[in-house]
Each structure stands twice: as C-alpha cells, then as structure tokens.
Amino acid sequence: MRPSAEREAAGRLLMTHGLGLAGQARVVVAHAATGSEPPTRPLLEALLARGVRVLLPVVTADPTLGWGELVDWSLLATSAMGLLEPAASEEAAAAARTADLLLVPAVAVDRAGNRLGRGGGYFDRWLPVRPPGRVVAVVYDDEVLEALPHEPHDRRVDQALTPSGVIPLG
C-alpha cells in the first residue's frame, strides 16, 4: 500500500487533472475509490461543487451494475464487497447511459487502451451499452504499462487519468 501522504497528493492531482478532463460535462459516471485505489473523493466532491451529476456503481445480486447518485460522501454505504455505494435507482441507471465522461477503476491499463480490472467483469459487461462519453481509467502513473494480456470480451478505455495528467490510449 502507498503511504498516506502519497495517496493524499495523488488525490489532489487527480482532482486538478480530472476537472480539466471533465470540462463542461453534466453527467459523470465514476467510482468511489477504496483501499489502495487512486483516491477519487477530492475529484468527485469538486465535480459535485460544480453542479455535475455524479453517478456511482452499485453491484446488484445478479451480478450486474446498478447506479446511484452521489449526493454526499457521508451517505455512501460499504457493500458486502467492500465498495462504497449510494442507494440504487432506475433514474440514476438511465442517466448513467447518457454520461459525458466515465471514470472507471483499473488495476492497470496499457498503451493500447486495454484495462485490467479487479476481476469481477462488472464494467466490461456494462460498457458494451455505455453512453457516447469518453471512458477513462483512473490509475497511478506506474499502472500505465506497455502491454497487458486481454481477451475479446474486454472493453478498452480511451484515456488514463493519473496524478501526472491525462494520457491518451489506443
């Protein structure tokens, strides 16, 4: 695990670069980072302060992704999988399909845009019906690699958001 000072600095930098990346976005699909993931909280709270609608995934029993709206970080609940989730709603699920920007979790990405997730395949199953917005993996700088193993069902990402900036992929 990275030292807390490094994680805090990464969160601030992700916020700075992420706000530039978001531009005029009105709806952003994202994830509430936990554990060793790059911290997304500063960015997500800054997007909320801008009036951006932020939607977070909710893992359902079947297992697919539902969606809920981030209103306040303190209202997120820890799921059985250890994820921070809001309450799911059909309205949020419909809005997720219109998102301008999708900030997705990843263990690593490669220069071709292949994304290595946490192994559940939730985003790969959801992304085929994704909205027209850009798909961006949120990773640390050292998690952008030259090449990763991938399979035909894996969905590529367009860019990587790192503490050093936004990296075009593909």
Per-residue pLDDT of the chain (170 residues; tens, 9 = 90+): 799 999 999 999 999 999 999 999 999 999 999 999 999 999 999 999 999 999 999 998 777 889 999 999 999 999 888 889 999 999 999 999 999 999 999 999 999 999 998 877 888 888 766 667 899 999 999 999 999 999 887 889 999 999 999 999 98
Q: What number of residues does the chain have?
A: 170
Measured distance CA(64)–CA(78) in Å, rounded:
17
Beta-carbon-side half-sphere exposure of residue 5 (alpha carbons within 13 Å): 0
Token digits of residue 103: 């900030």
In three-state form (DSSP H/G/I as H, E/B as E, the rest C), the secondary structure along 72-102 is CHHHCEECCCCCEECCECHHHHHHHCCCCEE
Token digits of residue 45: 């709270």
Please count the other Cβ atoms lying within 10 Å of the Cβ belonging to residue 26. Answer: 14
pLDDT of residue 13: 98
Count H helices and E strands in the chain, helices first: 4, 12
pTM: 0.94
Contact 159, 104 (CB under 8 A): no
Domains located in the chain, CATH noted: 4-168 (3.40.50.10420)
Measured distance CA(2)–CA(142) in Å, rounded:
12
Residue 56's DSSP bridge partners are: 68
Tokens 């920007």 identify what position?
101
Tokens 């027209």 identify what position?
132
